[in-house]
Amino acid sequence: MQKAMVRIRPFERQDVGAVLALMRALAVFEGYDDKLRVTEANLIEHGLGPSPRFGVLVAERECVIVGIAVHYLIPWTYDLKPVVWLKELYVTEATRGMGVGHALVEQLRQHALSIGASAIKWTVLKSNSPAKAFYRSLDGQPDDIWEPWQLKIDP
C-alpha cells in the first residue's frame, strides 16, 4: 500500500466524536465493547479539562481522523523519569499499512523525548500477531522481565 499523507496532532474539542468512534471500534476489535463506558463528556472533562488525565494524538488524513494514540503519563518510577503509557493505538482498517500507526508512534516518541521519559510502554493482546509485528517494526519488544497482572475491583 502507498504511504498516507497524514497530519499528527493533539486532539481538540471538535475531534471528540471521531476519537470516541475509534475507541469504540477498538473495543469491538478487542472484545470489550459491551463494557466500554467512555462518553464524549468524559473525553472532554478528563482529556481537555484544566488538568488532563490523558492525551490523545490524532492522525488526520484529508480532514478525516483515521487513527488515535491514547496515552497517559506515569510521573516517575525508580529512575525518577516519567514513563509514557500507550493505552490505545487504533488506525482505521482502510488506512492500515499506510504509515499512519508509525506516524502516531513517532509523534508519541517525540513527546516522550521532550519530557525526558525513559520509555513508552503498552500491552498487546496475546492473539494479535499483526500488532506484535507492527510494534517489532518500530523496534518495540516484549518486556522479558515483567508480565502484566491485575486485581479487579468490582463493587
Q: What is the CATH number of the domain that holds 122?
A: 3.40.630.30
- Comparing 146 with 27, the larger pLDDT belongs to 27
Question: Considering the domain boundaries, does residue 93 fall inside one?
Answer: yes
Contact 124, 132 (CB under 8 A): yes
pTM score of the predicted model: 0.93
How much is the average pLDDT of 102-114? 98
Pairing mode, if any, of strands 83-91 and 119-121? parallel
Please check the confidence at residue 129 and state whether its pLDDT lies above 80: yes
The residue segments making up the domain with residue 102 are 7-137
* Amino acid 148: pLDDT: 86
Contact 91, 100 (CB under 8 A): yes
* Amino acid 77: pLDDT: 85
* Amino acid 155: pLDDT: 73
Distance CA(53)–CA(47), nearest Å, equals 6
* Amino acid 31: pLDDT: 94
Average pLDDT over the chain, rounded to an integer: 95
- pLDDT category, 1, cuts 50, 70, 90? low
Distance CA(43)–CA(55), nearest Å, equals 10
Question: Considering the domain boundaries, does residue 142 fall inside one?
Answer: no
Please check the confidence at residue 73 and state whether its pLDDT lies above 60: yes
Q: What is the pLDDT of residues 84-100, one digit of tens each?
A: 999 999 999 999 999 99
How much is the average pLDDT of 109-124? 96
Question: Considering the domain boundaries, does residue 153 fall inside one?
Answer: no
Question: Considering the domain boundaries, does residue 91 fall inside one?
Answer: yes
Q: Over pLDDT 70: what percentage of the chain? A: 98
Per the structure, the count of domains in the chain is 1
- Comparing 3 with 40, the larger pLDDT belongs to 40
